[in-house]
Amino acid sequence: MTLQINTSALKGNLGQVGIIGNGSWGTALAKILTDNGRTIHWWVRNEEAIEYLTSRSHNPHYLTSVRFLPETIRPTKDLTAMMEQCDTVIVAVPSAYAQGVISSIPAQVWKTRNVISAIKGILPETNLLLNDYMTESCSLPLENYVAITGPCHAEEVAYERLSYLTFSGLNDALTTEVAAAFDNSYINTTHNHDIWGAQFAAVLKNIYAIGAGMAHSLDYGDNFLSVYATNCYREMYGFLQRHFEKVHPSDEKPDFHTSAYLGDLLVTCYSLHSRNRTFGAMIGKGYTVKAATLEMNMVAEGYYAARGMQAISAQYNIPLPMATIIYRILWEGLHPATGFAQIEKMMS
């Protein structure tokens, strides 16, 4: 099939919506949109999952309690066909796989789509956020890009517990419409212009959440964890502020003391739903990275983010000492107890 270039994706007009990825987060986003009356095109890699979604109207592996009205979902394994149908595409695959998916579609096609990033990580091959990668490789206009951040766990979306989503984009019309498409009785939405800061906050909080899991397994208590989270936020805030001033300055300074930054950090560090916290807890118990990954059957975004942020920290000369300790535990074999003895000395 020859993929047709769709030029009808006007700024501020979502049109037909597609989702790439059927993990827990992609499934949660599909639930929200279909609950709000949208029909979605859904790229699913696994044939079994397509069969379940088609015949039984639920995902067999993730958020299995969520059931869809059959007429609201159009699952397919054919990414080219899905892209042909859609004006707006939500990318909800783990960051480790995103570059391969993006590069399988011609760059000129992406230029004519609205892209909504539901990735909370850095692309490990390039150490870039999705928007920076797509700007470089696909010439995607930044006005066509919106990033989704939290605080929001997929599991609580499944239970329809009140959750919060933040949408960051430079195009007010598009960002507002995307936020409105997700807003409902159990999802509160806000939006801002801080594409880079909101995404870097989402990346960093996953690294710190791995550390929180390690601390739990190392038998640190709630008092320590509260001080740990406070110091993580101080480090995050310092990075975001300096990155904003050095790399993407503007007259509109973001408010970093809001839910997309501090709130998302806290819930990811504390919640038992957090896969990064769970991954860290297993590392703290002595699991290898490979064993923890196999046991969870999920990708912990903070693992790759820990390495990527080391490169970004060096590139912009913005130190991240606590994140560096987590990186050394994950990638250089530093014993978790030794690493946290060092973290103790950093905290105040």
Our separate counts of H helices and E strands in the chain read 16, 8
C-alpha dist (Å) from residue 228 to 13, 84, 217, 233, 292 = 43, 47, 14, 9, 23
Domain boundaries, the chain: 17-193, 196-346
Give the C-alpha separation, 302 to 291, whole Å: 16
Task: Kindly report the number of other CB atoms within 10 A of residue 208's CB atom.
Answer: 27
Of 146, 103, 149, the closest CA to residue 9 belongs to: 146
Provide the pLDDT for residue 317.
Answer: 96
Give the C-alpha separation, 308 to 103, whole Å: 20
Please report, in tens digits, the pLDDT of each residue of the chain (348 residues total).
333 333 333 334 799 999 999 999 999 999 999 999 999 999 999 899 999 999 999 999 999 999 999 999 999 999 999 999 999 999 999 999 999 999 999 999 999 999 999 998 899 999 999 999 999 999 999 999 999 999 999 999 999 999 999 999 999 999 999 999 999 999 999 999 999 999 999 999 999 999 999 999 999 999 999 999 999 999 999 999 999 999 988 888 899 999 999 999 999 999 999 999 999 999 999 999 999 999 998 779 999 999 999 999 999 999 999 999 999 999 999 999 999 999 999 998
Establish whether domains 17-193 and 196-346 are of one fold.
no
* Topology given in CATH for the domain delimited by 196-346: N-(1-d-carboxylethyl)-l-norvaline Dehydrogenase; domain 2 (1.10.1040)
Give φ, ψ of 87 to 5 degrees.
Answer: -95, -30
Q: Are strands 114-117 and 17-20 parallel, antiparallel or unpaired?
A: unpaired
Q: Are strands 145-149 and 114-117 parallel, antiparallel or unpaired?
A: parallel
Provide the pLDDT for residue 3.
Answer: 39
Task: Kindly report the number of other CB atoms within 10 A of residue 42's CB atom.
Answer: 28
Cβ(147)–Cβ(91) below 8 Å: no
213: left (phi over 0), alpha (psi -120 to 50) or beta: alpha
Provide the pLDDT for residue 251.
Answer: 80
Give the C-alpha separation, 196 to 108, whole Å: 24
- Helix, strand, coil share (%) of the chain residues, nearest 5: 55, 10, 35
This prediction's pTM:
0.93
Tell me the CATH number of domain 17-193, given options 3.40.50.300, 3.40.710.10, 2.60.40.1080, 3.40.50.720: 3.40.50.720
